Amino acid sequence: MDTKLNCALSRRAFVAGSGGFALAALVPSWPAGASAASHHTIIAAAGRVPLVGGEYPETAVWSYSGTVPGPEIRVRQGERLRATVENRLDEETTVHWHGVRVPNAMDGVPHLTQKPIAPGQTFHYEFDCPDAGTFWYHPHQRSLEQVGRGLYGPLIVEEREPVAVDRDVTWVLDDWRLRSDASISEDFGNMMDTGMAGRIGNTVTINGRLPDVFPVRASERMRLRLINAANARIFGLEFEGHQPQIIALDGQPVEPHAAEGGRVVLGPAMRADLIVDLTGAPGGRFRVIDTFYRDRAYRLVDLVYADRPLRDNLPDTPIRLPSNPLAEPDLATAQRHDVSFGGGMMGGMMGSGMRGGMGGMMDGGTMDGGMMGGMMGEMMDRMMQGMRHDGVWAVNGMSASGHVMEPMLTLSRGRTYLLALHNNTAWHHPIHLHGHSFRVVSRGGRPTRHREWQDTVLMAPDERVEIALVADNPGDWMFHCHILEHQAAGMMGVIRVA
Ligand code: C2O
Ligand code: CU
């Protein structure tokens, strides 16, 4: 396994031989400005941040209030969040509160739920947060570039009675495509990314920094909130030597369980809350590796144990979260709808999305010429048909362009629906529904073990997944792939609840 390359750039000169210094210097710095104040001002603007660090120049980004990620917003469950967003970008923007069951007018979808915020203008968002959990916020206007350049931030809704832990830590994961001077590659929305796996980058950051070590102490219990803010990269994290328990997915509590195969899989926009018991010995060092794309595994960060334990034994207090006030779907009376996702390049050729194939595109490696030619030909055809990027991807045969469209489904308020999703493509897709959480009730025809609540469900190539929900939030809601290049190229629809 390739464990050296997280960043395409080499920071070895900086890291090598710095020993204790590295431990002190490279601790990811937690977002500044985390606050429980009831009113927040968020400024979207261009800025510079030291993504790579070492001798590398700062990276020009777009950020919220000067940091990447933007300020961590914390509210208590049931409280009202008030945020004034000021747009100092040169283009329109909006803010979407991903996963929060907001009233439709606060959902941040350009033209569908609000007029986009023009440069120099502000917009005031205000809504109650009914569910405790780990959420995030990001623009919904040209999101492939706005999110891709760094506009996103964590939103934590605290339980009234949280699980007892020594530390509550948020890791916002992102994947950047950087050039050799640490600047962002400008090729947003290119055909290759659009028709295949999306914009997979070459540098993975935690909280806006290229990480090296994360200090821990023996017998510490940590709640780790993972948020995947990447445009396209799917993470499959393994914590070597540890057995984290998943206690929430997409903010919603789940029966505590170990990740299947020891790998925490997170598609774009997805979150997982873990209880990580630090069972290693003082002075120990353990890798956190990302093995989702098996042939392109890399070391994300090392957990490094202090020389002295925090205490003698791990706590054995309960780790189950109290449930959120979600309406329980009544499957007996559910109305069923089929939803098929189609389009994209290459049939089954690189099948399980990029597995083993990413290298060619990522760091200048080569891909077989004939294969590339065939792919390009097919892609060109589709691009020509659709002019630009529209028409590359579709939901139930319809390819979206822009956010305003006739609803693909109209649901009666208060009823239960079972949506039978089929990924009829050769690629993974994280499918997100606004305004609701849904239960994932089956995969491949078999009931899921935990009937997890999600707002974004990751579908493997050709996979069938059934989700169930009570349509209890009125309005027009986006239903789309959260690989932002796929969304921009048509993999999006509107579900109306009336
Ligand atoms: Cu995270 Cu439609 O968005
Ligand atoms: Cu997709």
| Residue 139 Cα to ligand 2 middle (Å) | 18
Q: Is there an atom of ligand 1 within 6 Å of 140 CB?
A: yes
CB-CB contact of 475 with 418 (8 Å): no
Helix (H), strand (E) at residue 376: helix 369-386
Nearest CA to ligand 1 atom 3: 98
Which ligand 1 atom sits closest to the C-alpha of 480? 2
Residue 369: predicted pLDDT: 39
Distance between CA atoms of residues 46 and 66, nearest Å:
8
Residue of 362, 381, 360, 383 whose CA lies nearest to 371: 360
**Ligand 1 centroid – CA 140 distance (Å):** 7
First-to-final CA distance of the chain: 52
Q: Which of 391, 451, 438 is nearest to 411 (CA)?
A: 438
Question: Which residue type sits at 254?
Answer: V
Residue located nearest, by CA, to atom 1 of ligand 1: 98
Q: How do the pLDDT tens digits run along the chain, 498 residues long?
A: 444 447 777 654 333 333 333 333 333 333 434 444 579 999 999 999 999 999 999 999 999 999 999 999 999 999 999 999 999 999 999 999 999 999 999 999 999 999 999 999 999 999 999 999 999 999 999 999 999 999 999 999 999 999 999 999 999 999 999 999 999 999 999 999 999 999 999 999 999 999 999 999 999 999 999 999 999 999 999 999 999 999 999 999 999 999 999 999 999 999 999 999 999 999 999 999 999 998 899 999 999 999 999 999 999 999 999 999 999 999 999 999 999 999 988 644 343 333 333 333 333 333 333 444 455 555 555 555 544 455 799 999 999 988 999 999 999 999 999 999 999 999 999 999 999 999 999 999 999 999 999 999 999 999 999 999 999 999 999 999 999 999 999 999 999 999
Helix (H, G, I), strand (E, B) or coil at 288: strand
Return the H-helix or E-strand segment holding 300: strand 298-305
CB 271 less than 6 A from any atom of ligand 1: no
State which residues have CB under 5 angstroms from ligand 2, the bound ion.
429, 481, 483, 486
| Ligand (nearest to CA of 269) | 1
334 in ligand 1 pocket by Cβ < 6 Å? Answer: no
Closest CA relative to residue 97, chosen from 44, 153, 142, 41: 153
Distance 53 CA to ligand 2 centre (A): 32
Tell me if 96 CB under 6 Å of ligand 1. Answer: yes
Ligand nearest to the CA of 143: 1
Tell me, using a 6 A CB cutoff, whether residue 432 lines ligand 1.
yes
Write down the pLDDT at residue 368.
Answer: 39
Q: How far apart are CA 21 and CA 116, in angstroms?
A: 46
Same fold, 39-305 and 331-497: yes
Q: Which ligand is nearest to the CA of 147?
A: 1
Residue-range domain boundaries for the chain: 39-305, 331-497
Ligand 1 and 480: CB distance under 6 A: yes
The CATH code belonging to domain 39-305 is: 2.60.40.420
Distance 334 CA to ligand 2 centre (A): 27
CB of 67 closer than 8 Å to CB of 208: yes
Does the N-terminal peptide bond of residue 268 adopt cis geometry, omega within 30 degrees of 0?
no
For ligand 1, is residue 486 a contact (CB within 6 Å)?
Answer: no
- Predicted pLDDT at 31: 40
For ligand 2, the distance from its centroid to the CA atom of residue 18, given in whole angstroms, is 42
Distance 138 CA to ligand 1 centre (A): 8
User: How many CA atoms, within 13 angstroms, populate the side-chain half-sphere of residue 79?
Assistant: 20
Q: 440: CA distance to ligand 1 center in Å? A: 18
CB 290 within 8 A of CB 240: no
Give me 341's structure tokens.
């996702």
Residues 324 and 249: their CA atoms lie apart, in Å, by 12
Indicate the pairing of strand 153-158 with strand 133-138: antiparallel
**Integer Cα distance of 288 and 263 in angstroms:** 10
Ligand lying nearest the CA atom of residue 460? 2
Q: From the CB of 436, is ligand 1 less than 6 Å away?
A: no
What distance in angstroms lies between residue 87's CA and the mean position of ligand 1's atoms? Answer: 19
Distance between CA 321 and CA 161 in Å, rounded? 8
Ligand nearest to the CA of 267: 2
Pocket lining: 109 vs ligand 1, CB cutoff 6 Å: no
Instruction: Indicate the CATH number for domain 331-497.
Output: 2.60.40.420
CA distance 267 to 272: 10
| Centroid of ligand 2 to alpha carbon of 391 (angstroms) | 13
